[in-house]
Amino acid sequence: MNKPDIKVGKTTIGNVVDILADNFGDNIGLEYHELGIKYNFKQLREILDKVAKGLMALGIERGEKVALWANNVPEWVYLQYGSARMGAVLVTVNTNYRSSELEYLLQQSDSSTLILVGGIRESDEFLKVLDKVCPTIKESEPGKLNCEKLPFLKNIIYLGKEKLPGMFNWDDILEMSKSVSDQELKARLDSLDPDDTINMQYTSGTTGFPKGVMLTHTNLIGNALSMSERMNLTPNDAMCIPVPFFHCFGCVIGTLCCMVSGTTMAPVVSFSAVNVLKTVEASKCTALHGVPTMFIAEFEEMDRNKYDTSTLRTGVMAGSTCPVEVMKRVIKDMGANEMTIVYGQTEASPGVTQTQVHDNLELKTTTVGMALPNVEVKIVDPVTGLETPRGVQGELCTRGYHIMKGYYKMPAETAKTVDKDGWLHTGDLATMDENGYCKITGRIKDMIIRGGENIYPREIEEFLYRHPKVQDVQVVGVPSEKYGEEVAAFIKVKPGEKVTDTEILSFCKDQISFFKIPRFVYFVDEYPMTASGKIQKYKLREMAQTQ
């Protein structure tokens, strides 16, 4: 079957929707097995246009920021592509965020609209967090929010049926769409430029302040095309997507890889091994995404109950190194013998390297593959900046169509990350072999990867400094069998003060995401130092492992 004809640099994400509806209209575009939802690409375009018109009726202009705080509900997909058709910038919000993180994101992004999910277990939490950030909602008229800390924020849209004070609900937006004509939407769509920012994702930095990564239509479409080609995706495929949409893994390597290849999207609302395996079986999925811990949970379920995964062929495993035994089972027990590994980061839209479908087991478990098509990768000496010989460790740098436009309102931070020649400095240490295959060997900065989530110690340190009894704090990652790494905090208490680990953990609760909350808290009088006065974090890691 032919693939969609998409030209990188000349096509917007909104145009991709038309290409699919016009050329593959009867093919299934979106299928939620657990919700009984199934739409072909023509029907999907109708929904997306309603959403686009509803946002326009709300007064949202091209380039305006719309923040989305939800798990993998169908409305997430509708908003991802509906907002792209009318030119709003979708700002993705981590579902683990709590009050201080949400407030910062809404403030820094200048978001005029926040859309949040309803009708799920976590949704009550979301409303409580929002109430903390913006207590004036209850006294506000929908669309006229007046929140001192968030001067840009005007609209709150609740993805639920019930009416809540100060908020529109989803049906209101769909009803409002009737006031915008097809011609008005077409004019807006035609006015968009492939180099416009269309998505902003927040990634933490060593400065402790999350940065809004500005990604364009060209960044995202080009990257999705490259990765979908590596997986050999076509309109005959269907992809099970259990990874969160708020990460690039879900909304680029997941839904957008499907859109640019005409593949059916078969998402799972919230990860559970049972729902993943039921979706694979019912939707006859040929591709499956996940981090290693997800695949491990799926194997445990397959050991208990029988599922038909015989249609599986490919997919992406990312987030942390793939253990050999896990990849063996993906191939042998699931039948996905063309599973690939992707390495990337949000600033690169996100894919940088990927294994190929026919690579052997060793390449799939010891490397992160080779550079994607039209992407440059080099390994440089972190001190001299000169390229290292093959096999010699250095910092992995990448350049090409996939590099972000920059960090929103942070030109200095952008300049530190992307050099004057357009190379993105990833901060990751790597080696490259004679064939261009890369191995990630460590991190220049002390990033912690816990169960596929990137955690930056500086952000947690900045937060814990706010505790009135904390004089100093150093955060490190310590090995964990289950999650790869866990967070450990070494705290110096102010003279004359006493504090317990329970008190520290209570301080974190509901303020920062659960995965950032230290698993271990140690109290110290001094930190191990170098002769020049730098704290030796590796010694703290060793101390944590001997406790």
CB 242 within 8 A of CB 216: no
User: For residues 439-471, b (16+ Cβ closer than 10 Å) or e, as one string?
Assistant: bbeebeebbbbbbbbbbbbbbbbebbeebeebe
Task: Provide Rg for the chain, Cα atoms.
Answer: 23
- According to the model, what pLDDT value does residue 224 have? 98
Closest CA to 264 of 278, 275, 276, 280: 280
The boundaries of every CATH 3.40.50.12780 domain in the chain are 13-19+38-203
Residue with tokens 């814990």: 464
Closest CA to 287 of 366, 228, 244: 228
What are the structure tokens assigned to 225, written together?
């095309």
- According to the model, what pLDDT value does residue 533 have? 53
What are the structure tokens assigned to 194, written together?
């492939």
The boundaries of every CATH 3.30.300.30 domain in the chain are 448-546
Write out the H or E segment, with its range, that includes residue 68.
strand 65-69
Residue with tokens 């006493």: 498
CATH architecture of 13-19+38-203: 3-Layer(aba) Sandwich (3.40)
User: For residues 284-312, b (16+ Cβ closer than 10 Å) or e, as one string?
Assistant: bbbbbbbbbbbbbbbbebbeeeebebebb
**Residue 455 is which amino acid?**
I
CB 464 within 8 A of CB 504: yes
- According to the model, what pLDDT value does residue 207 have? 44
**What's the predicted TM-score (pTM) here?**
0.86
- According to the model, what pLDDT value does residue 319 have? 72
* DSSP character at residue 177: G
Spatial separation of the C-alpha atoms in residues 476 and 455, rounded to whole Å: 10
Spatial separation of the C-alpha atoms in residues 354 and 372, rounded to whole Å: 6
Q: Which CATH number, 3.30.300.30, 3.30.390.50, 3.50.50.60, 3.30.310.10, labels domain 448-546?
A: 3.30.300.30
**pLDDT by 10-residue block (mean), the chain, 547 residues:** 90 98 98 98 98 98 98 98 98 91 96 87 79 93 94 96 93 97 98 98 69 98 98 98 96 98 97 97 98 90 97 91 86 97 96 97 94 97 92 95 98 96 94 96 76 82 90 90 93 93 94 94 87 70 88
Q: Which residues contact 139 (CB under 8 A, 6 or more apart)?
A: 165, 166
- According to the model, what pLDDT value does residue 119 have? 59
Q: Which residues contact 1 (CB under 8 A, 6 or more apart)?
A: 234, 235, 236, 262
- According to the model, what pLDDT value does residue 175 have? 97
